[in-house]
Amino acid sequence: MAKTAANREKDREFNMALMRHGLVSVQPAIEMVALMPVDDLQKRAMRARIRRWARILEDRGFQA
């Protein structure tokens, strides 16, 4: 979750790799955002990032 919040290029690549290899599932990750000690705007952005990464992976032929 911290890497999702940081949102650096290397963090995006890392998170997408976790999703691509099945180590992180989209829905549970989205649900875990609620536990993060950040404000609601940041939580909304984190959930959007996770969904966007899942769409990117699906567009590339991976099951996210």
The whole-number pLDDT of residue 60 equals 96
- pTM attached to this predicted model: 0.93
Considering only CA atoms, which of 43, 64, 53, 60 is closest in space to residue 11? Answer: 53
The ranges of the chain with pLDDT < 50 are none
Residue-level pLDDT at 63: 85
Q: What is the pLDDT of residue 45?
A: 98
